């Protein structure tokens, strides 16, 4: 699987929400595009990742 352009190892039948937790993403502060489609946060528990997936994960950062 590719995440933000980098090849990433993936466990078999891994849920998106588990991948995010393992990689310490705060789901309250990110947006995810999977294979060209923006994913609603409500689907993170349901999405099962596979090796062909391409994710773009954007973190929101506050500042001034």
pLDDT at residue 64 greater than cutoff 80? no
**What confidence score (pLDDT) does residue 42 get?**
96
Contact 3, 52 (CB under 8 A): no
What CATH architecture is 2-59?
Answer: Roll (3.10)
Average pLDDT over residues 18-23: 96
Mean of per-residue pLDDT scores for the chain: 95
b or e along 16-54 (b: 16 or more beta carbons within 10 Å of the residue's beta carbon)? bbebbeeeebeeeeeebebeeeebeeeebeebebeeebe
Domains of the chain, residue spans: 2-59
Q: How confident is the model at residue 63 (pLDDT cuts 50, 70, 90)?
A: confident
pTM of the model: 0.87
pLDDT at residue 31 greater than cutoff 90? yes
Q: Report the half-sphere exposure of 13 (CA within 13 A, side-chain side).
A: 0
Residue 20, C-beta contacts closer than 8 angstroms, at least 6 positions apart: 27, 30, 44
């Amino acid at each position: 699987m590719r995440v933000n352009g980098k090849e990433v190892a993936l466990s078999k039948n891994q849920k998106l929400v588990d991948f995010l937790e393992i990689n310490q993403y705060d789901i309250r502060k990110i947006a995810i595009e999977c294979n060209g489609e923006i994913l609603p946060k409500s689907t993170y528990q349901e999405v099962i990742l596979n090796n062909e997936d391409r994710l773009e994960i954007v973190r929101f950062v506050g500042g001034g």
